[in-house]
Amino acid sequence: MKRGGAMWGLALLLLAAFFASLAFGEVSLPLPDVVRALRGKGDPIALAVVREFRLPRTLVGTVVGAALAASGVVMQAFFRNALASPGLLGVSSGAALGAVSVLAFGMGRALWSVPLAAIGGAFLSTAAVVVLARKGAGTERLLLSGVALNALLDAGTAFLLSMSAGRLELSGQILFWLMGGLESRTTEHVIIGIPAIVLGCALLLPLGRALNLISLGEQTAQSLGVDVRRVRRQLIVLSTLLTALATSVAGVIGFVGLVVPHLLRLFLGPDHRRLLPASMMGGATLTLACDVATRILPGGLHLGVVTALVGGPFFLWMLRTPA
């Protein structure tokens, strides 16, 4: 009952964050005006603000947060490491480098060119992490490898940024990928991100029981009837795709895949049949809340900066807390 109440609580928090994302900004709107605008009624200005500008941004933020948190759950179970996440292991940086590459070389005009390049970069990064994990990398070595991989990939992105000096529009796009954000999200980003991410999350949910068994060890899972190789392949492909798609529409947004699964595991326990949907809701809520903070706080902070300010201290606390 307590855990069921927690799921309802997460759903209510997500609903509150969703409407806050539609209400707050340069022009703040009362909740009744937001509801009328969603129904296609009310003041024309409120209607334009909500439906044309904020709704695409909110929808993209919702699925991006859900994707990153779900990917974090999978990676923590896959590597049997509570510190694993798409950002720390370099998967997000690989997706960003892939996306930035097609932009820098003028190949990013087609609708799907950026997502496809992000997927390619993410899979290359994931392959490197899997190779390290197969060689028996412990927590420290895996994290250090992730730091090194992130540094290498970020250096590649910085190199492309330096090449774009004097091309202000391209430089702005690359900086966006580095810092992440939901500004200027449009219907095009909704079309690119939402259907594929929703499908990926839907395919992950039935794998909760298999995740429970794999997190206990391959031999245990195999003895209980799980085709470990097939399920592990499905898990790593889906989690990488989710990370790449999220990065392709919102840039690099760190720590969502680390903070949300770990916190919810403390409250809900390790059962991935419950943890996966809860993390999707929690990731969406955290991303939307941080995006609202970028509009309210002074200084014009980017979403990736706010999530780092939240997740960085949490990560340090995890490192200091005994397992």
DSSP 8-class letter at 269: -
Question: pLDDT-derived band of residue 1, with 50, 70 and 90 as boundaries?
Answer: very low
Q: 251: left (phi > 0), else alpha (psi -120 to 50), else beta?
A: left
In whole angstroms, give the CA distance from residue 120 to residue 92: 11
Tens-digit pLDDT profile for residues 105-125: 877 666 688 888 999 999 999
Question: Of residues 196 and 323, which shows the higher confidence score?
Answer: 196
Break the chain down into helix, strand, coil percent, rounded to 5.
80, 0, 20
Tens-digit pLDDT profile for residues 23-48: 998 889 999 999 999 999 988 999 99
Angle at 175 between CA 169 and CA 177, to 5 degrees: 110
Do 10 and 281 contact (CB within 8 A), yes or no?
Answer: yes
